[in-house]
Each structure stands twice: as C-alpha cells, then as structure tokens.
Chain A
Amino acid sequence: MAAARRFDRAAAAPAALLLLSFGGLAAAGVEDQAEQFFRSGHTNNWAVLVCTSRFWFNYRHVANTLSVYRSVKRLGIPDSHIVLMLADDMACNPRNPKPATVFSHKNMELNVYGDDVEVDYRSYEVTVENFLRVLTGRIPPSTPRSKRLLSDDRSNILIYMTGHGGNGFLKFQDSEEITNIELADAFEQMWQKRRYNELLFIIDTCQGASMYERFYSPNIMALASSQVGEDSLSHQPDPAIGVHLMDRYTFYVLEFLEEINPDSQTNMNDLFQVCPKSLCVSTPGHRTDLFQRDPKNVLITDFFGSVRKVEITTETISLQRDSGIMESSHEEGQRDEELMEPLKYAEQLPVAQIIHQKPKLKDWHPPGGFILGLWALIIMVFFKTYGIKHMKFIF
C-alpha cells in the first residue's frame, strides 16, 4: 500500500513536473512572440545603393544595384528613403537594344529597371565625395531632399556597393577610389552623430572582404562576395544585349530575396549561406563581431524591408470644418477684384524694345588688390628715384 502510494507519488511528481514545464513553455512561447515584436530597436529603414562603374561593359553593376533596389522597394522601403546612385545610364544607352530596360536574367525575363525608378545621383554626381557626404550628412543646404540620407538613431540602414575593387579599395568611375579606412571612418562618423541604429553593409566586388576588415564602429554587419585574393565573377551573358547581365553573388542574393515577402521570418543566417563556393566560385564572407544581436535573431526584413509596427484604434475622430478660413478667402477674393487694375500677357518678342534698350549701369566697385598694388609700386619707385623730399609737397 505504502509502496503503491509512493509509486503514485513518484509517478505524480514527474507528471506534475511535466505539466509545470508545459505550462511554462506555453507561457514562454507567448512571451517570446511578444518579445520578438519589440526585439529590433529600429523605427525606420533606409537604403543607400551605389553603383560605381561607368561604361556599357559594366552593365552588370547597374543591374546588380537595380536588383537590390527592386527588392528593397518591393519589401516596403519607399523611394523617399532610398538613395540610389548609378554612375552611368544603361537603360537609355544608345547601345541598349531594348531601351528603358535593364535585365537581370537572360532571355529578358526580369526587367529590374522597372516602371517607377527614381535615381538620386546620376552619372558624374557619383563621386567619393558625394557618397561620403550622403553618409555623414555634411551636405550643402541647397541639396534636394531626395538626395539626402535623413536617418536618425533608430534607423536601420542597408548600404550596398558594387563595382570594381581590389584589396582595400573600391574604384569610383575609373577616376578615383575609396579605401576601406575611409569607409570605416565614415561609419564611425555616422555612429558618433547617431545616424544609424544598425547597419548592414553588402559589397559585391573583387576582394570585397577587404572593405569590411577595418570597421570598428558598433552595430555593423557586413557581407562580401569574395575574400581577399579572390575575384568575384559575373554570371551569364545575354547574346542579344552582348554583355554580362549580373554578378553571381548578387544574382543568387536576388533569387533569395525574391522569396521574401514583408512578413517573412527568414533570418540573417540564411543570407550568409546564399552563394556557396560551388555556385559562386568565390567564397562569400561576412562579419558579425561588431553586431550586438545574434544573426539568427535578425530578420531579413529588418534591413531589406520596412516593417512598420502599427497600432489599430477603434476610436473615431471627427474633423471640424474651419468656417473662419473660408469666409476670409471669399472676402479677399472680392477685395482683390476691386483693387487691382487689369494685367495683360507679355509680348513674346518685343523687337522694338530689344533694339532700343539702354545699356545697364554697372555698379562701381572699389579697385581690387592688383590695381592698388600696382599704383603703390609706381609711387614707391617714383619717390625712391626722385627722393623723399617730394613727399612734403603732396601731403
């Protein structure tokens, strides 16, 4: 009897333990989900996509950048939050047999140029100086809003760069380079000014891993298409267009991103596996030591998408019409009609007026340094030649 009771109690205890643990797990599951909702600390997303190569044979770099642009837009980042820099125009290039298109897959399957592309920095504007100014925010006041990176300390920024590069540098348009040290310092400036919450840096060039070796600011995760000493290769040429359409790494990244939609739970570890050596021929690399969160907890949409956390309310808000404004507009309309005398359209080519113009009076400016210096020299020479005694007759 006692043995049976003991057995019962012995059986009950693990059963109770099991029940407790199940309950605990269930509670932890809900908490986990709630925690995940608030896990990443960002409130807005930005993307800076840079293609640094010029000339028709570098079509693939423009296609790379536009594929990332397309994915990022599809997943929700609006044009106002994307700074797209393309160093040359491929779509309307006279050598393009299908104008207004840039293809990523051969047989013209996917037009990544799209129908509503907005390029912020074009052609000669894509320089190292402009790129660094965009990142650090040190931009002249006349720059339009679409050309600025207006990020704050809760922004997650995706920076994608592609072009020709080497060990420690990236070439901009065949005339200048940016080094990995400059890039690391630019990111440090961004950190000091709190211009990002987390940064994802992706680079698709030869020896791309050298570009992220020197980073030292926190919260940066970096991916590159090849290690130091390796070349990144291009994917496939298209016989109709005549050039290589994409680089391998970005081609497989594009295929990976096409499977993502705004509510995907795919994390960064999957992105690290994207292009193994068998497909890419080069070895993609990544760097996560500066990043505080574990990559498996970082969602792809944290950087590529723009997931907003929305709270739905059921209250109704009624807007009042402001009658004061409408009455005053009516009065002003009446006043205007009484006071102003009739205007008329200008003559388009007033020949008589043009011929008989009076010459404009130029403003008088005081003489410049050169003239003053010249006269001072002449006076000095005069007095030296003929003696200082002449001075008293003048002054």
Chain B
Amino acid sequence: MPAVHGGERRWEAEAAPGMAAARPLALLVLLVLGPGGWGFADPPRDSLREELVITPLPSGDVAATFQFRTRWDSELQREGDTDHYFLRYAVLPREVVCTENLTPWKKLLPCSSKAGLSVLLKADRLFHTSYHSQAVHIRPVCRNAHCTSISWELRQTLSVVFDAFITGQGKKDWSLFRMFSRTLTEPCPLASESRVYVDITSYNQDNETLEVNPLPTTTYQDVILGTRKTYAVYDLHDTAIINNSRNLNLQLKWKKPPENEAPPVPFLHAQRYVSGYGLQKGELSTLLYNTHPYRAFPVLLLDTVPWYLRLYVHTLTITSKGKENKPSYIHYQPAQDRLQPHLLEMLIQLPANSVTKVSIQFERALLKWTEYTPDPNHGFYVSPSVLSALVPSMVAAKPVDWEESPLFNSLFPVSDGSNYFVRLYTEPLLVNLPTPDFSMPYNVICLTCTVVAVCYGSFYNLLTRTFRIEEPSTGGLAKRLANLIRRARGVPPL
C-alpha cells in the first residue's frame, strides 16, 4: 500500500545508526526525498516521542513510568463499523511477567534499549521492584485537526515502583543510577521529543523537603487526573542538560524526612476478596470506594468468572451505605461448562463518600481428573474485575492538545474538563477447588500388593510347600580354623 511504503521509507531515512552526529545526514536524505514523498501541505509528523515520569511517593519510595509513542500513517483500514462503545477487555490471570516479556516489548521500540530513555530498561533492576506493569496500546488517532483521516498510534508504557526496603537501602535518596544502574546519555535519534518529568507538586524548592539535582530549566503545570500538578522538565534534546559530564543522573534528596501523613486517596478504588469456608461454597465480594466528598458517579463493572465457580445470580446483592442499590444496567451471560466463563456486567451508581459492596455466592465444581493442572493444590485463579468510570475532577482541565501535551496526559484524553476516564483492575483471586489426592493410585497399588503378598502369600506357602529339616551348615572359615586349633589341643570341636 502506498502510504505504508512511504512510512517505511521515511523510517529508513531517519534510521541513522544511533549516533547524534549522523542526524544531519538523515535530514539531508529526507530533503532529497521530500518533494516527491510526503504531502507537502502538512508538516513532517513526529514518529516517536518518549517520556519518563518520576514521582516521589510520600512513603519514600519512587515510582517511574516510561511512555513511548510511535505514530505512523497507514491505509490499514479498520474493519467495518466496530461499535467501540461496546468494546471490552479480556483478562488472563496468572501470567508471569519477567524478562521474557520485556524482551519482545523492547523490540517494538525504534531505538530498542540502545539510545534514549530505553537504555534504562534493564531487567535485573526493573523486576526487583514492588510493582511492575507493562502495556502496549494500539489505536487509531486523528491525523490532523479536521480528523478527515486516521493514523495509527502505538503506545508502550512501563511503570515500576522502587521500594527502598526491597532494594535494601538505608537512606531514601534516589538517583537514576541507583534506580536503573544506568544514566541517560543522549536522546534517541529517531525521537522528536525525549523528556524526563519529575513530579514536584508537594515539594517546592522553597519548602526544602525534596531537592532535585540538577536544577530544572523549565517546569510544567497541568491538571492531571483531576488535580493540579507541577513537574520539573528535563529535555534531552537540550544540550545544556547533558553537560560536560556527558550524562544526566537525576538525583532526588530528601532534605527533611518525608512526613508520615496519609497518602492522598484516589476518588475511586476497589478491592475484591473471596469469603466462606470449606471446599463446597464461597462468596465473591467486590468493594467499590467512592471517596469524593459530594459527587456521585456511575461505574461500569465487568466480571469474568471461570465456569468451575458456579455463580448463583439470585444471591447477587449490591449495597451502598446499608441500603440496596439497584444497578442501572445489568447484563449476565451464564457459563457453559468447559466452553465459556460467566460474564457479568453492571452499571452501578456510586453515591458520594460511600462504600458499595457487590457480592455473589458460588459453588465450586469438581473437575475431571485430567483437567487439573500439574499443581492443583496451588489453587485456581479468578481474573480481576475491570472497572471503568468517568471520575469527576476537583479542578477543571482544559482539553488535551495532542501535539503539545506530554504523553502521560493524553493516554486517556478528556473530552470535557469536568471528569477524567479511569480503568481499574482489582486484584486476581486464588480459590481452591476440591482436589482429589493424586497420590492415591500409587498408594493403593502399594498397599494392596503388600496385603496380598503378606496374607495370601503366607497361606499359599503354608498350603503348597513341603518342609524338611536342614542340616546346619559347617560354619565359616573362622569356625573351621578354630576347630583345627581345638583338635590340636585335644578339646572337642565346636
């Protein structure tokens, strides 16, 4: 397809071998191809933007989020009219995430851990954390302001929370080197923007709680997730940042120890647990917290429960503040044994400043012998519930400008500034099913064979064998030698 060819060729033109010095050459090639290639009316579209957001947490830990956005024009058509109002997510519980998942994820990056922010992606540091999350998002976006055609956007995000306790550090001072065992040297040559943001909202320089070193040249303020935040910005394309030491090692030092105040609670959070006892029944409960002081908002709750937990939908109860709360919309698709899981989707109105409890009882099924996993006593996983909500924000936000605003602000863009979109996943659950004793066949065989051998075998021997007296053996060598000596002495032999 023509536009794909264009995209690919432009990519090759810019794919200088990783050194900043080669960029002028790439630009030159681009100019030569220019008039024949791209639509001359539009400015050259950025292909890659990369960002790192560092957020110091009140507990002394630090969270780091990487975002990489690749955009390309393609005539790849979406099929027909996928009504994306009703597009939902599927969840796979118990997928181990380790370096083997990071490797193909890194391969999608244009600079692929050789230059730019992706040099910080070292597996042995990223997995020695208390929280790790990786994501890949692909979606169509408007190509221009009129939105007459679409281009495709690939977003990769990686979030980690470094825990001072796990990494065994005494002081809670952080630097890029301490977190990632690397420092930043140069931006990715293919990236049009390569920036590091540090969240200094609660920690102004005057306040002298947290010191950020080197001092930022610019700051950025915006309303993120409903609250006003301030960030210190370090632009890797700015040659003053990467000074004569040829690298950028951001340092965060706590001047005063972080106050032990309670961390800010988000307006929407959820918890899920299994209750009950025994291996026959149980109850699945989800608690939805709305901590907004005066606004109620609806939440779409999607539950996918495996077929071997047989849900009793007549026991579904939703209570808020002690009273029953009827959902505005309910959709239930029952499970078919070994074919499909239960699907329960509800739109629940959460009253302001309340806890809503959604609970449903279930019965555990007995699986067939061969359907048990090799480690059945570990338990079986239930996938997390997915909550989608438009949470009202405290401060109105202005609509997102796709080109200008940083990536972390445009993952879920706001259509109007009064609320922001949030998708939450609760924790996955582990339930035990009635598990047979798999050592039974071996034990039964051993036991019955032993019993048969001892009982029947004894009887058989008694009934069928003839017995005769046996001469005692003459004894070993020692006895013979002893007899020899005794005969010599004239004493009777043994």
- A, B co-complexed: yes
Binding site for B on A (CB under 8 A): 54-55, 89, 91-92, 98-101, 111, 113-119, 122-124, 173-175, 323, 325-330, 332-334, 336-337, 340-351, 353-355, 357
Of B95-103, B250-258, B360-368, the one contacting chain A is B95-103
Nearest to A99 among chain B residues (CB) is B127
CA distance A330 to B35 in the complex (A): 10
Q: How far is the CB of B431 from chain A (nearest CB, A)?
A: 17
**Which residue of the partner chain, among B100, B122, B148, contacts A336 with CB atoms under 8 Å?**
B148
**Which residue of the partner chain, among B85, B123, B150, B374, contacts A347 with CB atoms under 8 Å?**
B85
CA distance A119 to B100 in the complex (A): 6
Mask, B68-102, CB within 8 Å of A = 1, is 00000001000000001100000000001111100
CA distance A330 to B33 in the complex (A): 13
Given contacts A175-B374, A332-B3, contact A92 B127 (CB under 8 A): yes
Question: In the complex, which residues of chain B have a beta carbon less than 8 angstroms from the beta carbon of A99?
Answer: 98, 124, 127-128
Given contacts A118-B104, A119-B100, contact A336 B375 (CB under 8 A): no
Question: In the complex, which residues of chain B have a beta carbon less than 8 angstroms from the beta carbon of A355?
Answer: 328-329, 347
Question: In the complex, which residues of chain B have a beta carbon less than 8 angstroms from the beta carbon of A115?
Answer: 99, 103, 122-124
Question: In the complex, which residues of chain B have a beta carbon less than 8 angstroms from the beta carbon of A327?
Answer: 36
Judging by beta carbons under 8 Å apart, are B412 and A348 in contact? yes
Kindly state whether residue B415 has any CB partner on chain A within 8 Å: yes
Nearest to B423 among chain A residues (CB) is A348
Kindly state whether residue B37 has any CB partner on chain A within 8 Å: yes
CA distance A82 to B375 in the complex (A): 27
Judging by beta carbons under 8 Å apart, are A345 and B415 in contact? yes
**Which residue of the partner chain, among A117, A124, A336, A351, contacts B99 with CB atoms under 8 Å?**
A117
Nearest to B98 among chain A residues (CB) is A92
Nearest to B97 among chain A residues (CB) is A92
Kindly state whether residue B126 has any CB partner on chain A within 8 Å: yes
CA distance A160 to B104 in the complex (A): 24
Judging by beta carbons under 8 Å apart, are A325 and B2 in contact? yes
CA distance A325 to B37 in the complex (A): 9
Question: In the complex, which residues of chain B have a beta carbon less than 8 angstroms from the beta carbon of A101?
Answer: 124
CA distance A324 to B489 in the complex (A): 124
* Cross-chain pairs A/B with CB under 8 angstroms, 9 sampled: A98-B124, A99-B128, A100-B127, A115-B103, A325-B5, A326-B2, A337-B148, A340-B148, A342-B148
Q: How far is the CB of B152 from chain A (nearest CB, A)?
A: 13
Question: In the complex, which residues of chain A have a beta carbon less than 8 angstroms from the beta carbon of B233?
Answer: none
Judging by beta carbons under 8 Å apart, are B103 and A117 in contact? yes
**Which residue of the partner chain, among A98, A100, A114, A174, contacts B374 with CB atoms under 8 Å?**
A174
Question: In the complex, which residues of chain A have a beta carbon less than 8 angstroms from the beta carbon of B347?
Answer: 351, 354-355
CA distance A174 to B375 in the complex (A): 8
Question: In the complex, which residues of chain B have a beta carbon less than 8 angstroms from the beta carbon of A341?
Answer: 148
CA distance A122 to B104 in the complex (A): 15
Question: In the complex, which residues of chain A have a beta carbon less than 8 angstroms from the beta carbon of B123?
Answer: 100, 115
Judging by beta carbons under 8 Å apart, are A345 and B413 in contact? yes
Question: In the complex, which residues of chain B have a beta carbon less than 8 angstroms from the beta carbon of A323?
Answer: 36
Q: A54-B375, A349-B300 are in contact. List 19 more A-B contacts (CB 8 A).
A: A91-B99, A99-B98, A99-B127, A115-B99, A116-B103, A117-B100, A124-B374, A326-B2, A326-B6, A329-B2, A332-B75, A336-B149, A341-B148, A342-B146, A345-B415, A346-B84, A346-B85, A351-B328, A357-B329
CA distance A98 to B98 in the complex (A): 12
Given contacts A326-B36, A344-B147, A345-B415, contact A89 B142 (CB under 8 A): no
Kindly state whether residue B159 has any CB partner on chain A within 8 Å: no
Nearest to B100 among chain A residues (CB) is A119
Question: In the complex, which residues of chain B have a beta carbon less than 8 angstroms from the beta carbon of A98?
Answer: 124, 128
Nearest to A92 among chain B residues (CB) is B98
Judging by beta carbons under 8 Å apart, are A100 and B5 in contact? no
Q: How far is the CB of B156 from chain A (nearest CB, A)?
A: 17
Nearest to B149 among chain A residues (CB) is A336
Nearest to B141 among chain A residues (CB) is A345
Nearest to A89 among chain B residues (CB) is B96
Kindly state whether residue B373 has any CB partner on chain A within 8 Å: yes
Judging by beta carbons under 8 Å apart, are B96 and A100 in contact? no
Given contacts A100-B123, A174-B374, contact A114 B421 (CB under 8 A): no
Mask, B314-355, CB within 8 Å of A = 1, is 000000000000001100000000000000000100000000
CA distance A75 to B241 in the complex (A): 41
Kindly state whether residue B39 has any CB partner on chain A within 8 Å: yes
**Which B residues between 265 and 298 are near A, CB-CB below 8 angstroms?**
298
Nearest to A331 among chain B residues (CB) is B2
